[in-house]
Structure 1
């Protein structure tokens, strides 16, 4: 038995979709609330590209049909993605836990724990909210950083505070109001001049 069928059997439905379903509600149970995951690329919705929309569990869908479905939705979740890699960069407050691709990107970006002097590799660290989720912080790459478990717990216990700045640096604050910065990881060196295409060459992508 699939998870949806099991949930419906145990909990019933939250609200009848039609009069024929009215008897499916289970008294005293919380009920199952279906969620539809429909992804529509923004540029495609604006007519700038020809990418298809995607309905989870179904597959690709033409954009016009997807826009018609979205037009009848009661709420939306904005998800910002990198236009080249498709990696999700911002989930607003739709979810506390970052998706796996966002987690990997933050680990690649940070390389190590961002607490000054700690060199624990990022893949062994927690991906933490700089502005705490329970205090209104969003799940996005501009509010996530890698912190080893010890430094993460110290921050959660308010022994330290931190702020992920627009420059990529992390500003840490001690209980005694002393601040110190962990600078951003240096970007990768550009390709040598001899390997770069001439300036008048068109962009290949």
Structure 2
């Protein structure tokens, strides 16, 4: 195969006739450019934070602890000693970068942590000695250390990591943070004999049990990782081995690994049922005499067609939890479990417009909006709509009816949208604005004039490379 044929898919600006040596040189050049751009992006994020200190918040900042629609407040997004940031500024940087608000918040937090608490590492990133992603890994660890690292403790971690140019694995990094906690006596009880294998003082409990629901395999499986006590691990291993052997004796043709995995789910269901039974919270029993397990609700959506007089579901559908692909075979296997309760809800016609008097949103209209929007409709937000507020796109006027005026913001599906609490507050208390240009299609405008479209296919920027808009950028004001 010729070089031209093999590399004809390279992007614009790359010569198709490059030799292998030239391609390797190009790869190195592009990687250097990528690292430089990542370092520059951290600098931009830190500067963006500088332009939005708490003093830039318009009016008195308040925050409703109960999760209400409080106004903008100052937010610590890095470790102690880093400057606070006006929380709403994060969203606009995220949309311009085409990432979610939490991802933008993490970027700004890492930038501030590196610049203010890990200055050696910050310098190495900008000199090219350490790639930005390595430095951000360290920043993530020092931001979220428990107990929180003081500036002195973070500086000590910085000196240790900078000495090896950032070449440190996660396990070594965890040990450094634990050592910083001990060295600077940050734990509540520095003599706690929660034994470290070396010196008897480990102040970071490594135990955890993590179910990664964000990364779903096409086969409908998720990754589970845990670190538990040795005694618990041995008990769990024996329980899984026993259940796997029982399944095989009952005729299961699954592999040993698959039977052990299935046993873990069976163990969870049995345990929740026993817990409820022992606490006297289960009033009903299943047909086999066992208490009904705690209910877990999944919302599966399939397109149905007709074949003669029979309704037929398509082979693939959507699992609302996590917006994941769902195979009909998977749903069938779940429904085949004798302890699964199935509820089939009426089909909702999303082409109809539903409305209700007053400001309150009835359940039937909420369900309609949830099914149409899927997630929060702010650009690149992935919060499931079922956990969102239902917002009046054009605000509801509580005095219109009493004064005999037409209602500018009716409680109608063509004026309602799903917004997570943060973006609901953002829309209510900032210069962000949006409109519904078609059913389920929203156009957002940021405080600086950037425009974004969000529909059922996702989010997209509507701006040219240099979008028009007011050039008003808050100037940093120091106390």
TM-score by length of 2: 0.20
Structure with the larger helix share: 2
TM-score by length of 1: 0.45
